[in-house]
């Protein structure tokens, strides 16, 4: 998401510009030495800033994009995996590699900001996560009060369904990424390593090991903890395979599956007596991967022919002479 990287670079450069000119922002006002800056000077400063940004923006954005070279790392922390799943932004993943950046829950605001930018660019990453996971979507009205408050603070998420029915106004809850990461780790779709806090050496963590673990927050960062109550105070520092994480959460949105109902409806309009065999061929040619039984049942529901269709010319079945 280049937009998030660009805004991070611009924000950093703007702060440096204000500091260099002895300025501070107080609310919506600019002040210098405790006094408001006159409006005519603000106009001049704005022109100076606009010119400085235009001269340097490509370099500043490139520097922000290359911060930490996250795409070259073999393993990511759990926090980096979470940030990638929600933002698909390498610069933010590199930013998330520093534990000091997790004070006061700053990743939440950055994730929310990236989700909002993506939605403005016509990509709904939160809805993509719900759909790709196969989990039934949860809406804000269905989650617990504390979770609802957190979801609403993070970002005003877009509707799961943009149709005009009574549910179109309902907003999706933030996808439970940590639960889903545990599912992927337990099914061996993401490789991981672990070590006790304070130690240096990591060792392999198997899918079977994850049956007794879950992801939790300790000191502002994500760690693995044991599910057993007597062992929950023990935590493990975990790294996950960057390649596996990016495979499960691709940078580009997955192509949407063909709409079987729309395909068959269009075919029936052209041929009201559409048979099962022809319907199956049309569906497959259009890229639909639903099983034959589902295609047959939907064809019947839409009013197509219930019979398989002609099998070819019949043979002469006359009784042979005695």
Is 217 or 184 the better-scoring residue by pLDDT? 184
Burial code of 246-284, b = ≥16 C-beta within 10 A, e = fewer? bebbeeeeeeeeeebeebbeebbeeeeebbbebbbebbe
- Between the alpha carbon of residue 315 and those of residues 59, 108, 289, the distances in Å are 78, 72, 35
Give the pLDDT band (50/70/90) at residue 76.
Answer: very high
pLDDT for the residue numbered 101? 66
Query: Which has more confidence, 148 or 6?
Result: 6
What's the pLDDT score for residue 107? 60
Q: Calculate ∠ Cα 288-289-293, nearest 5°.
A: 105
**Residue 63 corresponds to which tokens in the numbers above?**
């520097």
- What pLDDT, in 10s, does the model give residues 142-198? 665 555 545 544 444 444 344 433 333 347 788 999 999 999 999 999 999 999 887
Contact 155, 87 (CB under 8 A): no
Task: Tell me the per-residue pLDDT of 32-60, one tens digit each, with 9 for 90 and over.
Answer: 888 888 888 888 988 998 888 888 877 77
Say if residue 235's pLDDT is above 80: yes
The helix or strand, by DSSP H or E, that contains position 226, with its residue range, turns out to be strand 221-226
pLDDT for residue 158: 41
Q: Are 90 and 242 in contact (CB under 8 A)?
A: no
Mean pLDDT of all residues in the chain? Answer: 78
Per-residue model confidence (pLDDT) at position 291: 83
The span from the CA of 233 to the CA of 218, in Å, is 10
Main-chain dihedrals φ then ψ at residue 291, nearest 5 degrees: -65, 160
pLDDT of res. 156: 44
Q: Which of 20-24, 179-183, 228-232, 306-310 has the lowest mean pLDDT?
A: 306-310
């Amino acid at each position: 998401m280049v937009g998030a990287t660009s805004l991070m670079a611009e924000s950093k450069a703007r702060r440096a510009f204000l500091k260099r000119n002895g300025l501070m922002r107080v609310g919506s006002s600019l002040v210098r030495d405790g006094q408001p800056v006159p409006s005519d000077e603000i106009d001049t400063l704005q022109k100076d800033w606009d010119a400085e940004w235009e001269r340097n923006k490509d370099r500043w954005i490139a520097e922000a994009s290359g911060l930490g070279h996250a795409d070259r790392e073999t393993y990511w922390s759990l926090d980096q995996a979470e940030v990638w799943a929600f933002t698909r932004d390498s610069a933010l993943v590199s930013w998330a590699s520093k534990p000091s950046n997790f004070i006061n829950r700053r990743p939440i605001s950055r994730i929310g900001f990236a989700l909002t930018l993506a939605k403005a660019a016509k990509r709904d990453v939160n809805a993509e996560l719900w759909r790709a996971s196969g989990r039934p979507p949860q809406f804000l009205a269905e989650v617990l009060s504390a979770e609802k408050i957190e979801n609403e603070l993070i970002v005003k998420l877009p509707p799961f369904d943009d149709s005009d029915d009574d549910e179109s106004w309902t907003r999706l809850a933030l996808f439970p990424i940590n639960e889903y990461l545990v599912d992927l780790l337990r099914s061996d779709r993401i490789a991981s390593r672990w070590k006790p806090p304070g130690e240096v050496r990591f060792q392999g963590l198997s899918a079977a090991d994850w049956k007794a673990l879950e992801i939790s927050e300790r000191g502002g960062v994500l760690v693995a903890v044991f599910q057993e109550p007597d062992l929950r105070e023990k935590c493990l520092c975990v790294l996950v395979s960057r390649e596996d994480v990016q495979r499960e959460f691709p940078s580009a949105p997955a192509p949407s599956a063909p709409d079987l109902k729309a395909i068959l409806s269009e075919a029936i309009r052209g041929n009201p007596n559409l048979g099962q065999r022809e319907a199956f061929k049309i569906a497959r040619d259009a890229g639909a991967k639903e099983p034959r039984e589902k295609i047959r049942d939907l064809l019947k529901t839409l009013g197509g022919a219930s019979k398989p269709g002609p099998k070819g010319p019949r043979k002469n079945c006359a009784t042979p002479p005695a």
